[in-house]
Each structure stands twice: as structure tokens, then as C-alpha cells.
Amino acid sequence: MEQDDCYQSVTETKYDCLLFDVDDTLYPMSSGISTECTKNIREYMISKLGVEEEKVPEMCAELYKDYGTTMAGLRAVGYDFDYDEYHSFVHGRLPYDWLKNDHTLMNLLQTVPIRKVIFSNGNDAHVAEVLSRLGLEDCFESMICFETLNPSKTSEQPENSDELPKTPILCKPLENSFIQAFKIAGINPQKTLFFDDSIRNLQTAKSVGLHTVWVGSSHKTDGVDYSLESLHNMKEAFPELWEGAVDKGDVPYAEKAAIEAVVALSCQLRLKLSGLYQNEKDKRLKHYKKPYFMVWFTDFAGFSGST
């Protein structure tokens, strides 16, 4: 039916959300920020936790490998510390001035008509500072960060066992961190593209239904659907994301419903007018050569259209 065609043009989408990691994803690893972060973590372990200096590099690498973040690993093996103090020491002393406004990425994110969400293991102050330095603070609908998934510190300590001790910290690449993120942000993983630089994060993401993009590489591997050297290549890799503001719309639910209602009304009226015209006994439309009806609308995202 003609009415069904009108609905179809508005409601069909492949992706309705873009989910982004922050560090080494929104900016390249070559910035040097990650190297400085690792230095700060090692210094914290030595000065605040009393770990012997010669043991720190290997321990730091092992904990990161086993738990996704050194912080989560430290808690798992029994170290107790204040989370805010840790983040202040590790992130608060980073040389953020090394990050500059990325006008190319800002333009890409602002013009792609799909909702965009941040999903980072970093604390909210760190994420906010990075976005501000890059000029991307207005490009995302919401942020899921450390405090989102860990609203309060637990006193849970690991049990002695032969298995790898569990961590009380919820973070990527733990599967439950993704499940909670979906619930908090209202994300449908089957219709979401997830951008991250970590293979482990991407593999978990793939296992829970997300479409995955490995940022910082041109090679594909298990658990990765696509790869990008840089987010600057997004439009070349996924041109369909920019096709049609309504089809891929960064449109709130109520607004989209309103547009669908207008289209449906237009379809119904057009069909009704056509039926009246075909009725030769109806004198009201006798002087028209062809029935015609137009509705013009503009959504809050700036898309305009008519039917």
C-alpha cells in the first residue's frame, strides 16, 4: 500500500546508535597520553600502595591483561584504595594540553544523524576533559563512565581460590559492563556500532551483539567486523550513516513519532482525495485536474521534508 511505503521510508534503519570508547579511540595513541597514564599508574603503585619498584612493570601488565584495567586488577588481588584519589593521581596529572581541537572529527560527529554515546572505563572528569580538549563536548547524547557503572565503592575482598580472583570494579571488557551500559543508555546492541581500540573489549562487545569497529588498525581479527585507522575515515567506511536525516535520524522518540504521524496523515489524505476525484458524482473536486496535498515539516535536528 502507498501508506505502508510512507511508513517504511521513515522507520527503516540499520543502526540507531554509535557507541564510542574515548582513550586511543577519539584521539590517536600517538598523542602520548596513554604512555603518560601508564607512568602515573606505576608511580601510584609505588608511592601509594607500596609495591616494590622492580615488580611494578610486570605486575601492571599482568593485571591489565587479566582484568582490562590495572585499577580493577589491583582491587581483585586485595589492594584497597580510594577511587577518587586514584583517578586524581592517574588522570588528574595528564598533559591534556597535548590534545587539540579536532575539527574534522567534530564535523563528522555533528553531521552524522544518529545518536552517539560515550562508553569509557575512565572517570567522568577525565572523559569530560578529553572531550573538551578535542572540541567534542557537544557531540554526544550521554556518557557511560567509571562512576556510571561503579556508583559506590564496595568493601568486597577476593576469596582465596585456585581461580582468578574477581574484582569488585565493573568495567570493560567484562560482559556485565556492556549489559549494564545497554540498560542505562537504552541501547539495542543489534542496531549499534561500537568503536574501540581494544581487541578484548571488541571481542566481548561482539559476543553480546554489538557491531564492532577496531580503531587504530587496518586489519580485521576475530571479534571485529570492521577496522579503521582513524575515526576521520568514518564517512568513507560507513557512508550509509550519513544518508537521510530521518532514515538514520538523531531524532528523539517523540519527535520521530510526530513525523511518522504527519506522514501517515498525509498518505491518508492523499488517498482520500484521489478517491473523491475518481467519483464523478462528487462535484466538489470537479474543477481540479489532479488532486494534490502537501505537508511540510521540520524536525528539531534540522531535517526538513514534504509529502
The answer to whether 273 and 265 have CB atoms below 8 angstroms apart is no
pLDDT at 296: 43
* DSSP assigned state of 118: E
C-alpha to C-alpha distance for 107 and 95, rounded to whole angstroms: 25
Residue 170 pLDDT greater than 90, yes or no: yes
Average pLDDT over all residues of the chain: 81
For residue range 237-295, list pLDDT tens digits in order: 999 999 864 433 344 433 443 444 333 434 443 444 344 444 444 444 344 344 444 44
The answer to whether 238 and 193 have CB atoms below 8 angstroms apart is yes
* Sequence-ordered list of residues with C-beta below 8 angstroms from that of 226, at least 6 positions apart, any chain: 211, 212, 213, 214, 220, 237, 238
CA-derived radius of gyration, the chain: 25
The answer to whether 196 and 93 have CB atoms below 8 angstroms apart is no
pLDDT at 223: 79
Residue 164 pLDDT greater than 50, yes or no: yes
For residue range 51-100, list pLDDT tens digits in order: 999 999 999 999 999 999 999 999 999 999 999 999 999 999 999 999 99
C-alpha to C-alpha distance for 302 and 300, rounded to whole angstroms: 5
pLDDT at 281: 43
Query: β-pairing, 304-306 with 296-298?
Result: antiparallel
Domains parsed from the chain with CATH numbers: 17-242 (3.40.50.1000), 251-306 (no CATH)
The answer to whether 204 and 194 have CB atoms below 8 angstroms apart is no
Single pTM value for the model: 0.75
- Name the one residue in this structure whose C-alpha cell is 556500532: 193
For residue range 179-198, list pLDDT tens digits in order: 999 999 999 999 999 999 99
Residue 306 pLDDT greater than 70, yes or no: no
Among 131, 120, 98, 105, smallest CA distance to 31 is for: 98
Q: Which of 18-22, 285-289, 295-299 has the highest mean pLDDT?
A: 18-22
Dihedral (CA of 299, 303, 304, 307) sign: negative
Positions of E strands within 36-146: 115-119, 142-144
HSE, CB side, 13 Å, CA atoms: give it for residue 121.
22
Q: Which of 19-28, 153-162, 279-288 has the lowest mean pLDDT?
A: 279-288
pLDDT at 160: 45
Element spanning 71, H or E: helix 70-76
The answer to whether 69 and 169 have CB atoms below 8 angstroms apart is yes
Among 65, 22, 63, 27, smallest CA distance to 42 is for: 63
Residue 6 pLDDT greater than 60, yes or no: no
Average pLDDT over residues 165-180: 96
Percent of the chain with pLDDT over 90: 68
Average pLDDT over residues 31-58: 97
Average pLDDT over residues 200-224: 94
The answer to whether 38 and 136 have CB atoms below 8 angstroms apart is no
pLDDT at 285: 39
C-alpha to C-alpha distance for 213 and 75, rounded to whole angstroms: 30
